[in-house]
Amino acid sequence: MTLRKLLPVPSLLLALASGCQHSAAASPPAEGPPATPAPFASPPVLPGTPDVATLVARVRPSVVNITTVHEVKMAHHEFGVPDLEDIFPFFRQGPQGPMRRHGGDEGGDQVMKQQALGSGFIVDAQGHVVTNAHVVDDADVVKVKLADDREFQAKVVGKDDRLDVAVLQLQGAPRDLPVASLGSSDALRVGEYVVAIGNPFGLGNTVTMGIVSAKGRTIGAGPYDDFIQTDASINPGNSGGPLFDLRGQVVGIDTAINPQGKGIGFAIPIDAAKDVLPQLIASGHVSRGRLGVVIQGMDQDLAKAFGMDRPRGALVEQVEPGGPAEKAGIVAGDVIVSLDGREVPRSEELPRMVARHSPNVRVRVGIVRAGQHKEVDVTLAALKDEGQTRVGSDETPGPSGEKSSALGIGVGDDDGRVVVQRVAPEGPSDGKLLPGDVIEQVNQQPVTGAADLAAKVHAASADRPVLLRVKRGDQSRYVAIERRK
């Protein structure tokens, strides 16, 4: 599934067609009794029907339209067809939107001003506005327009690119600003009605309604993927706008859409944003704790191989040398199942749970090791900005070609390493191992060669999958494989 953040859209100019004129004179109204008002011209809200109109009237003043201006330097004649520059010297269509020439010498670089649009909402009387970080990325000027058409310049006071949240502050704004109420996304239920208000395609104060389609969606947007999915219509320009529940409280921040799908949009849970807003307002950045592990998800085969009753927790692939987890005694192959007494239901939850803690805070980590549960205390370090890169395998098979028929693979010895040479189509390892993978462990025991691998696989318990630790490129991970009978 291809997903796309709601990138700010170029400002939209709408031309209204003039009304049609008729040559024939209008007929006089027919005589008769006065017309009776149509029934339900202003219908009452029926029992059980949400009063969306009243809700919107109450919350819409807190929603704002955001316009950003980016200055882009472009070489002379970079617009493509030179003749068009002579015809339209003052208006250009840049890569993302309309652009106007600004300065520059004859034949030299031109500075173009590019406008883009987004949405946001006011969160306090000091004029702080919440939006998406990608709405204001690299913006030279930020303007905010309120629902009553008042406009203010704004400055970016803080950004959290990991969560895609930014905080602006209105310049010269009065203290009587309408403020949005922040609700609870944790309490939000799938199937609840929600209302989105924003600035899609420059159509400010647009209101759409739908339901919460799902929660906890992972869409590949970063380490803190945990999105609310909704079918309330959101489009480019809605980025940063609020998603309200029927109590009139903000429960999400509209952020991304699935461009191939109709009615599939995603919002950041407001509880995640509330965790970082005080830091963004106070210091402009977010400090998060770091455990110092690389993790992978658990599936049914892995859970069975580790002697667990069901898939849960986060499997530790690697431990950072000298990091917090290593100092506390956590090792590769441990399964982290709880943090400060709260269960880790899925591996995706662990980074978010750790990130809610500040550096130098001590947390209690529950792990499963060799089928036994234990707890260790870990003092978190500060999360670094640099990300990890997973490198594809560049290993080459060794000269030997022994088979491990129970796993459906062919392996070879290469300078003390056991290298996968072949994977049998539709065999037990198909889709789990690749040629070039290096098998480091079997059931958490080191492997010294192809013969040792075969012996350990043969000796393994028949009622559990075989647990392999496999290195692919620079990354090691665990794989559970059901043996061929």
Reported as a single tens digit per residue, the pLDDT across 25-44 is 444 555 555 555 554 445 55
Looking at residue 238, its amino acid is: N
- Which pair of structure tokens corresponds to residue 377? 């205390």
- pLDDT at position 430 is 81
Number of H helices and number of E strands within the chain? 8, 31
pLDDT (average), residues 44-68: 88
Segment among 116-125, 192-201, 291-300 with least mean pLDDT? 291-300
In the predicted model, is pLDDT for residue 141 greater than 60? yes
CA distances from 91 to 69, 150, 340 (A): 15, 27, 58
Q: Looking at the annotation, which residues are catalytic? A: 134, 164, 239
- pLDDT at position 32 is 55
Segment among 137-141, 274-278, 347-351, 448-452 with least mean pLDDT? 448-452
How far from each other are the two terminal CA atoms of the chain, in whole angstroms?
36
CA torsion through residues 220, 222, 224, 229, sign: negative
Whether residue 11 contacts residue 97, with contact meaning beta carbons closer than 8 Å, is answered with yes
Q: Which helix (H) or strand (E) holds 457?
A: helix 450-459
In the predicted model, is pLDDT for residue 168 greater than 90? yes
Band the pLDDT of 409: cuts 50, 70, 90.
confident
Q: Which helix (H) or strand (E) holds 137?
A: none
Task: Give the largest CA-CA distance in the chain.
Answer: 104
Q: Which helix (H) or strand (E) holds 454?
A: helix 450-459
Segment among 35-39, 286-290, 313-317, 395-399 with least mean pLDDT? 395-399
Tens-digit pLDDT profile for residues 2-17: 566 665 555 433 333 3
- pLDDT at position 34 is 56
- pLDDT at position 7 is 56
Q: Tell me the three state secondary structure of residue 458.
A: helix
- pLDDT at position 43 is 56
- pLDDT at position 120 is 97
In the predicted model, is pLDDT for residue 111 greater than 50? yes
- pLDDT at position 6 is 64
In the predicted model, is pLDDT for residue 340 greater than 90? yes
- pLDDT at position 398 is 34
Name, of 33-37, 178-182, 284-288, the range with top average pLDDT: 178-182
In the predicted model, is pLDDT for residue 392 greater than 50? no
- pLDDT at position 354 is 93
Separation CA 381–CA 427 (nearest Å)? 43
CA torsion through residues 411, 412, 416, 419, sign: negative
pLDDT (average), residues 283-306: 90
Q: What is the pTM of this model?
A: 0.67
CA distances from 326 to 165, 290, 293, 382, 385 (A): 32, 12, 9, 15, 20
Which fold, 402-481?
Answer: Pdz3 Domain (2.30.42)
Mean residue pLDDT of the chain comes to: 80
* CATH of the domain spanning 60-170, picked from 2.40.50.140, 1.10.3720.10, 2.40.10.10, 3.40.50.300: 2.40.10.10
Band the pLDDT of 131: cuts 50, 70, 90.
very high
Distance of CA 13 to the CA centre of its chain: 31
- pLDDT at position 410 is 78
In the predicted model, is pLDDT for residue 203 greater than 50? yes
Give percent of the chain above pLDDT 70: 76
Tens-digit pLDDT profile for residues 247-271: 999 999 999 988 787 889 999 999 9
Distance of CA 100 to the CA centre of its chain: 33
Yes or no: domain 289-382 corresponds to CATH 2.30.42.10: yes
Band the pLDDT of 213: cuts 50, 70, 90.
very high
The residue behind tokens 């919002």 is 267
- pLDDT at position 463 is 77
Whether residue 135 contacts residue 118, with contact meaning beta carbons closer than 8 Å, is answered with yes
Segment among 109-113, 359-363, 450-454 with least mean pLDDT? 109-113
- pLDDT at position 481 is 86
pLDDT (average), residues 351-371: 91
Whether residue 95 contacts residue 115, with contact meaning beta carbons closer than 8 Å, is answered with no
pLDDT (average), residues 84-111: 45
Long-range contacts, 350-355 (Cβ 8 Å, 24+): 350/291, 350/295, 350/313, 350/314, 351/223, 351/224, 351/295, 352/224, 352/226, 352/272, 354/288, 354/289, 354/290, 354/291, 354/380, 355/223, 355/224, 355/275, 355/288, 355/289, 355/383
Q: Taking Cα atoms as reference points, which of 182, 178, 122, 181 lies closest to residue 154?
A: 122
- pLDDT at position 443 is 85
Q: Where along the chain do its domains lie?
A: 60-170, 181-283, 289-382, 402-481
Same fold, 60-170 and 289-382: no
Looking at residue 1, its amino acid is: M
Instruction: Report DSSP state, residue 80.
Output: S
In the predicted model, is pLDDT for residue 101 greater than 70? no
In the predicted model, is pLDDT for residue 485 greater than 50? yes
The residue behind tokens 């647009």 is 206
- pLDDT at position 33 is 56
CA atoms in the 13 A half-sphere facing the CB of 259: 7
Helix, strand, coil content of the chain in percent (nearest 5): 15, 35, 50
pLDDT (average), residues 268-284: 94
Separation CA 331–CA 341 (nearest Å)? 20
pLDDT (average), residues 109-138: 90
Separation CA 242–CA 237 (nearest Å)? 12
- DSSP secondary structure of 13-77: --PPPPPP--SSPPPPPPPSSPPPPPTTSSPPPPTT---HHHHHHHHGGGEEEEEEEEEEEE-TT
In the predicted model, is pLDDT for residue 401 greater than 50? no
pLDDT (average), residues 409-415: 77
Class of domain 181-283: mainly beta
Q: Taking Cα atoms as reference points, which of 476, 407, 419, 406 lies closest to residue 450?
A: 419
Distance of CA 87 to the CA centre of its chain: 43
Separation CA 193–CA 213 (nearest Å)? 10
The residue behind tokens 């067609």 is 17
In the predicted model, is pLDDT for residue 404 greater than 80? no
Bridge-partner residues for 472, per DSSP?
A: 475
In the predicted model, is pLDDT for residue 239 greater than 70? yes
Band the pLDDT of 86: cuts 50, 70, 90.
very low
Q: Tell me the three state secondary structure of residue 416.
A: coil
Q: Taking Cα atoms as reference points, which of 359, 362, 316, 358 lies closest to residue 337?
A: 316
Separation CA 355–CA 359 (nearest Å)? 9
Torsion of CA 241, 246, 251, 257, to 10 degrees: -50
- pLDDT at position 220 is 73
